[in-house]
Structure 1
Amino acid sequence: MSEPQQPPAHLPAAPQYPGTHAFPTHASSAPPSAPATPAQPTADPAYPTAYPTAAPAHPAGVPGYPASWPAAAATPATPAGSALGRTAFVIAVITLAVNLISSIVRLLIYTSDFGYGSAYAIDDAIGVISFFAYVVALVLGIIAARRPGPRLLAGIAIGIAGAGALGMIFSWIGIAFLRFA
């Protein structure tokens, strides 16, 4: 035959979590000077759990506990580098578009009755303004690339502005050699 099943013996030991009770407190076991407390319901009184089942609830006005937790931000704040990179990107793309359009319009101006003098003046003005816009976009792109945050638009702006500024410098050098040669 088999031996009868007996519950495990509980050895006296310090509780794992101070301040928690492994067994329910009954009104009859309370000292006479203390008020009687109702019994705490547990899952199985014969086998207490070592882990608490729920976090204690604290009312909203208790000192040391916040009345409500702050709400999480819906969208993370954009770093300053991304706004600067976006600005550099927009300046570089607009300047590139103006230069591409002016190269097409230049052909129409040369073939019109406007004359070469006015075409050169318009072409030189667009060139100088574009060069300074490329330099501004390049500087803003470099600053944005050194800041924390997304760097994709800053890198694109550096590429467009650097290539545009170098292209304008070399075209001015070529024009200068043709004028003085």
Structure 2
Amino acid sequence: MKHPTIKKGRLIRTTDLKRTFNLLFLFALSIVSLSCGPSEDDSPEPTPIIDLQADDVVFMITPTSSIAFDGTATITGRVKNMADNFISVEGQQVILLYERSLGTPTDQPGTEIGRVEFTTLRTGETMQVSYTRPWNSASPAEGEFPPEYILRLSLDPDIQIDGNVHNNDNNSENNELIVSGKAINQLF
């Protein structure tokens, strides 16, 4: 037989006290768990920042004869990932290199001379596209009026709505770079 407890003139059973303490304990435990908030595992993944940049166009010349103005020019365009990892699928992005001769309207890119397709580019990584051609800095078409070289990162028009946040370029302003071929003549 359990002995009742008398408190302030009222009779309280021991089982009632245990229930009260259990309820208070559960109430306190629920308050503590609510105040902790969601765990880190419950938080949504942050949206990545994607920024691929047409970074540089580099020229190199290899002399082909004893004539001081003849050589083979290599034009290399480089795209660099300036932010989070870029992850996509085939056919949605390509690096293009164009040669635009003097007189070609500026709203036209010129002749495509290089193309590289890719699907991933990690933070800080670069990807290159190159083209090699004969160069004579004494000729008017190369020496006096050299072409321009255009490096362009081209993305599929619907890439922003394909449901993949890892290929949404946040800065399209740096996806093209135009460089004059005059710098090739300075390498002789």
Per the normalisation by structure 1, the TM-score is 0.29
Answer with 1 or 2: which has the greater Rg. 1
Q: With the length of structure 2 as denominator, give the TM-score of the two structures.
A: 0.29
Q: Whose strand fraction is larger, Structure 1's or Structure 2's?
A: 2
Write 1 or 2 for the structure with the bigger share of helix: 1
